[in-house]
């Protein structure tokens, strides 16, 4: 963190910040992400003004209301509405006549798959794909509909946006979804025997077993169902119109639940608890007094290293702190420094932990 920074007039910062917003809107390249990083690091004023303009940008999306009042002439209007699958297709065929479009709409499903095969368009290429992360890896991906998926370590999802429903299967691990609004195409994540449906909201899902997962809703509301029950399409209606659904299955922002067929252990999280739960999104794990054994199990998700503790008392020792994921040597150092726990590498990937002054032993 360098303290050297050039003096920049405030208006220039606003100018730069608005350019960054525009670039973020267009989609940043990898090197631009680093440039933005440096720009943000240069002064806290940069960050403040960037946030201020971003917030204005979001507020101004209210102007979208005008599009209903003044629909845009030409096929572009449908393109921008993003309301259904037709929009995507029309991007490539915007010059064809309305009549042709009307006929072709009947074959949309077929055509979209076709254009995907031809790979002419990046966004359509994302219509159907598989995303995975290795142990210790985390990545954020923007999907074709503008939603963001953040995959945690050792996770797999399958994406299928080809139909009238934005469908994702969480096969393994944990993911956070920030869903772009689209009332007409519900966003459905399947995990185990359940689905979670949203239209524009944010939530986190972590598989805890092959048929169970933990759900945290960070924003808006989602609908939980088991896969044997009704249609996804009607779920969107249920979200908009809450009395149309069984109330037990509608979860709102700040709620957490374990789901295995049924919604279980439903609870409201304090914002602290939620931050702790979702700290992984910032590459961190937070512990607030969990038994060491549990903490190490959590840490183990991010590394091929396994930990061994022989001593039962030590397993139950409560630990607190926040750790950067994947930084095992930092963790070991912290355990030794703050908790008097020593480590020994017993084999290639196994580390044994011991307390420096062992408790009185029976021997």
Partner 1 sequence: MRAISTIVNKDDIEDIVQEAFIKSYEAQLKQEIRYERTYMLRTVKNLALNHVASAAVQLNDAVENMDALPYDLVGHSLEKNVESKERFIHFCRATDTLSAEVKRVFLLKKVYDMKQKDIAELVGLSESTVEKHVAKGLLLCSRYLAELADDTPSTGSSANSQDVRSR
Residues 257-276 that bind partner 1 (CB under 8 A): 271-272, 274-275
Nearest residue (CB) to partner 1, 81 versus 171: 81
71 is an interface residue for partner 1 by CB under 8 A = yes
State how beta strands 262-268 and 255-260 pair.
Answer: antiparallel
- CB of residue 342 to partner 1, shortest distance in Å: 16
- Among positions 298-357, residues that touch partner 1 (CB under 8 A) are 320-324, 327, 330-331, 333-334, 337-338
Nearest residue (CB) to partner 1, 137 versus 226: 137
Binding segment for partner 1 among 54-62, 97-105, 224-232, 354-362 (CB under 8 A)? 54-62
- CB of residue 175 to partner 1, shortest distance in Å: 15
* Contact of 204 with 175, CB cutoff 8 Å: yes
Residue 99: both structure tokens together: 């009549």
Binding segment for partner 1 among 52-60, 99-107, 111-119, 260-268 (CB under 8 A)? 52-60
- CB of residue 116 to partner 1, shortest distance in Å: 18
CA atoms of 257 and 263, how far apart (whole Å) = 6
Nearest residue (CB) to partner 1, 55 versus 227: 55
Q: Which of 8, 18, 237, 258 binds partner 1 (CB under 8 A)?
A: 18
- Among positions 147-206, residues that touch partner 1 (CB under 8 A) are 148, 178, 180-181, 200, 202
Per-residue x/- mask for partner 1, residues 75 to 114, rule CB under 8 A? Answer: -xx-xxxx--------x-----------------------
Three-state SS string over 319-330 comes to EEEEEECCCHHH
The per-residue b/e assignment along 75-89, b for 16 or more CB within 10 angstroms, e otherwise, is beebbebbebbbbbb
* Contact of 251 with 221, CB cutoff 8 Å: yes
* Number of residues engaging partner 1 in binding (CB under 8 A): 85
Per-residue x/- mask for partner 1, residues 203 to 232, rule CB under 8 A? Answer: ---------------xx-------------
Q: Quick check: helix, strand or coil at residue 76?
A: helix
DSSP string, 151-218: E-TT-EEEEE-SSSSEEEEEEESEEEEEPPP-TTS-EEEEETTEEEEESS-EEEEEEEETTEEEEEEE
DSSP state of 244: G
Residue 23: closest CA among 44, 53, 68:
53
- CB of residue 189 to partner 1, shortest distance in Å: 18
């Amino acid at each position: 963190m360098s303290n050297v920074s050039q003096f920049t007039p405030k208006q220039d910062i606003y100018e730069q910040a608005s350019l960054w917003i525009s670039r973020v809107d267009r989609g940043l390249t990898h090197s631009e992400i680093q440039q933005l990083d440096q720009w943000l690091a240069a002064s806290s004023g940069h960050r403040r003004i960037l946030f201020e303009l971003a917030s204005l940008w979001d507020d101004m999306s209210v102007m979208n209301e005008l599009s209903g009042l003044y629909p845009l002439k030409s096929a572009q209007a449908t393109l921008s509405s993003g309301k259904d699958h037709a929009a995507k297709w029309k991007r490539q065929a915007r010059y064809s006549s309305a009549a042709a479009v009307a006929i072709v709409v009947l074959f949309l499903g077929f055509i979209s798959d076709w254009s995907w095969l031809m790979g002419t368009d990046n966004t359509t290429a994302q219509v159907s794909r598989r995303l995975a992360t290795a142990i210790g890896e985390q990545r954020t991906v923007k999907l074709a509909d503008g939603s963001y998926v953040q995959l945690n370590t050792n996770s797999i999802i399958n994406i299928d946006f080809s139909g009238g429903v934005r469908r994702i299967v969480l096969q393994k691990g944990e993911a956070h979804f920030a869903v772009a609004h689209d009332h007409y195409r519900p966003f459905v994540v399947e995990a185990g025997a359940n689905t979670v449906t949203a239209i524009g909201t944010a939530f986190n899902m972590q598989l805890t077993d092959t048929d169970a997962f933990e759900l945290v809703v960070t924003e808006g509301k989602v609908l939980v169902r088991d896969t044997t029950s009704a249609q996804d399409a009607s779920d969107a209606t249920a979200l908009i119109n809450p009395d149309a659904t069984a109330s037990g299955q509608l979860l709102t922002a700040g709620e957490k639940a374990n789901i295995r067929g049924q919604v279980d252990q439903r609870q409201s999280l304090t914002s602290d608890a939620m931050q702790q739960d979702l700290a992984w999104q910032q590459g961190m794990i937070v512990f607030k007094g969990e038994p060491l054994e549990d903490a190490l199990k959590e840490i183990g998700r991010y590394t091929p290293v396994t930990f061994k503790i022989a001593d039962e008392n030590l397993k139950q020792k409560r630990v607190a702190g926040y750790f950067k994921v994947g930084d095992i040597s930092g963790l070991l150092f912290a355990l030794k420094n703050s908790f008097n726990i020593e480590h020994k590498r017993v084999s290639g990937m196994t580390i044994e932990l011991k307390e420096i002054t062992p408790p009185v032993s029976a021997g």
